[in-house]
Amino acid sequence: MDQTDLRAPTRTAAVRPVTPQQRTARAARNGGEPTLEFADRVPYDAYVHASTLHTLQQPLSTDPGEMSFLMVSQIMELYFGLTCHELRQAQRDLRADRVWEALAPLRRAALHLEGLNAAWRGLRWMTPADFNRFRNLLGEGSGFQSAMYRHLEFLLGLRDPALIRPFRRQEEVYDELRAALDVPSLWDDVIALLARHGHDLPADLLERDVTVEHLPHPSVEAAWVEIYDDGGPQNHLRLLGEALTEVAEQFGDWRWNHVKAVQRTMGAKVGSGGSAGLAWLQRSMARVVFPELWSARTAM
């Protein structure tokens, strides 16, 4: 029995499922007041692990502003993971031709990306002088090295195998990223779906090497023009296009907010991870998510 098995009974005992009837009876016994006594851990903490979360902030300086930088970074990591979770569910639905069902996780993903964008507001106070008080202590630490952000990029179709090299010494992380590169992106699955729905897409596009970044293709653009030309209520592909557009737009906003945050806090200085910093981020924005969804609008 491993440690997970040993911990499971305590966690199960702390979070006990209840029925609506049990909740009603508990409220009657409490006279409408919340329950204040528990035999084990507080059920909320057992489920959310809040007491664990609040031990994960370990600033490297005594500067009070560093906590904002550290916690906002951790919040963003959680949002990266949550968005990936939703996009993978959308992939499973699309691979099974469940277009209508895929809309819900895509809409949730767009809302999570909206929350991710809002997280930048917590760093608007930071000037170069504020950042410089603890920046040197970060060493070569950079958001560029976020493995979960790479997973998100790979899912969205932004693929550069070179960007997983920093993780070679972290074998489990590296293997997961390598595996993510070896399977189709969400956009690859959308293109395959369009072909299954009768749109004329060439075999070399459908059978391409998914480890490299997709390049815009006129046949995919033409398919979206045709899809959007049908405004009927049963055109689920058009609804899919709009849900994907919202995801792409929110992700683009996050990248732009990143650029603005870097401009605000460090100008055009060299990045902590060794890149050109601001210039590198600006160049990376030229890589468009779901490119034919945007270019098709010119032909509509």
- The amino acid that residue 259 corresponds to is V
Indicate the annotated binding residues for heme.
Answer: 258
Indicate the annotated binding residues for substrate.
Answer: 135
Task: Say if residues 15 and 39 touch (Cβ distance below 8 Å).
Answer: no
Closest CA to 201 of 183, 224, 223: 223
Q: How far apart are CA 85 and CA 117, in angstroms?
A: 18
Contacts of 252 (CB under 8 A, 6+ apart): 285, 289
- The amino acid that residue 18 corresponds to is V
Indicate the annotated binding residues.
Answer: 135, 258
Task: Say if residues 144 and 275 touch (Cβ distance below 8 Å).
Answer: yes
Task: Say if residues 209 and 155 touch (Cβ distance below 8 Å).
Answer: no
125-149: burial string, b at 16+ Cβ within 10 Å, e else: ebeeebbebbbeebeeeebbeebbb
Phi, psi of 15 (to 5 degrees): -110, 100
What are the distances in angstroms from CA 71 to CA 46, 55, 59, 60, 78?
21, 11, 10, 13, 11
Q: How far apart are CA 246 and CA 294, in angstroms?
A: 11
Q: Name residue, tokens 């779901």.
A: 290
Q: Name residue, tokens 């979360």.
A: 53
- The amino acid that residue 244 corresponds to is L
Q: Name residue, tokens 């460090």.
A: 266
User: What's the alpha-carbon Rg for the chain, to the nearest Å?
Assistant: 23
